[in-house]
Amino acid sequence: MTRRITALLFACLVLAGLIAGCGGGSDSTSSSSSAETGSSASSGKPEVTTKTIGVLDQAAASSANQIMEQVVNELADSLGWEVKSIDAQGSPEKITRGATTLQNEGVDALVAISIEPSLIRSSLEAFQGDDVPTCQIGGGQPASDLYTMQFGEDEFKLGEELGEYIAQVEPDAKVLALTNTSIYAGKERYAGFQKGLETAPGAEVVAESEINLEDPIGSTTKATENGLAAHPEATAVYSIFDLFNPPATAAVKRIGSDAKVYGHFTSEVATKELRDPSNPLAALGDSSLSKSSGLCMEQFLSQLIDEVPANPDAIKTNPLTYEVIGKDDVDKFVEPGSYFAFPPEVASEEFLKQFESKYTLPTS
């Protein structure tokens, strides 16, 4: 009897060993997970934990804003983070409500795309009180202590460079300006454009039209057609925001005007028009906005994972780049197969490599 029990125990031990050796059983899964955790710990790299990022977009129809959101989404996906996005559709009221919604949903960080701080003051103050980092990108905004960091573009510089370009290629340009100076970015960009245009004594703005951001297509179409009818001497149309580019070029073509259109930001539509010799779009002022999204995510990792305060001066060591792209040199700035002078996927790849070297990611 004793021999039978001993033999039975031995058989059970052998069987248990075989099962464990084959990776079967729930204990094996736990061991594997523990080993992976131990490996992460031994690597000395902090492990990225789940977070939720809120994105408040002033106007998601903007191709420039879409680029910035794309980079946030791609990097968040690699980090295993969730993104909650709200499109305010150019409405100040929707901007304010959107910020409140994201605040109430308890996001861990906020990306504000082209949002003036005054419109979401109460939410930004609440985020500050809860130590939730906030990052403003896209359209440049006035310096504000309400945001944790501001990585928006230099609007004056963006407008000035395009104004100088027009002054060089059309020194006697008569410009119809499609503007929106109700927001800070529009004011600054137009001020820069006017200064740049002044470098050619013969160039001047002959008419201005304020475009409704909540109806950019209809408003731009009407302003372009009426402006060119009232000022047939106009040789150029300045489209201050990328939302205005397509309806402006369409209106110029439809009425048969010889005026050229100058706007901002490469996109699938804009780059195709720029490459088309018969299209009135003549040049685009652009900037590496996709980089600003990566900077936000970099600093969110610093504060949320490393528990090191975000660096509001990060853009000073990694500044945005500005270019003016004309019909004759579009292929110099936009690679074959792409529509962007500053491709969002390139920015995502560059920042992801940086994150992989510093952190243990869920996909690592």
Task: Give the pLDDT confidence score for residue 162 in this predicted structure.
Answer: 98
**Residue whose C-alpha is closest to residue 248's, from 220, 278, 219, 282:** 220
Q: How far lies 216's CA from each of 93, 179, 183, 224, 245, in Å?
A: 17, 11, 14, 12, 10
Q: Which residues contact 211 (CB under 8 A, 6 or more apart)?
A: 178, 179, 180, 219, 220, 223, 240, 241, 244
Q: Are strands 174-179 and 204-210 parallel, antiparallel or unpaired?
A: parallel
For tokens 């109430």, what's the residue?
104
Domains detected in the chain: 52-150+289-319+343-358 (3.40.50.2300), 155-287 (3.40.50.2300)
pLDDT for residue 2:
39
CA contacts within 13 A on the Cβ side of 335: 6
Q: Taking the model in full, what pTM does it have?
A: 0.87
Q: Which helix (H) or strand (E) holds 246?
A: helix 245-255
Check if the beta carbon of residue 109 is closer than 8 Å to that of residue 132.
yes
Taking only the tens of pLDDT, the chain with its 364 residues reads 433 333 433 333 333 343 333 333 333 333 333 334 444 555 689 999 999 999 999 999 999 999 999 999 999 999 999 999 999 999 999 999 999 999 999 999 999 999 999 999 999 999 999 999 999 999 999 999 999 999 999 999 999 999 999 999 999 999 999 999 999 999 999 999 999 999 999 999 999 999 999 999 999 999 999 999 999 999 999 999 999 999 999 999 999 999 999 999 999 999 999 999 999 999 999 999 999 999 999 999 999 999 999 999 999 999 999 999 999 999 999 998 899 999 999 999 999 999 999 999 996 5
Q: What is the pLDDT of residue 44?
A: 86
Contact 120, 156 (CB under 8 A): no
pLDDT at 29: 31
Q: What is the pLDDT of residue 350?
A: 98
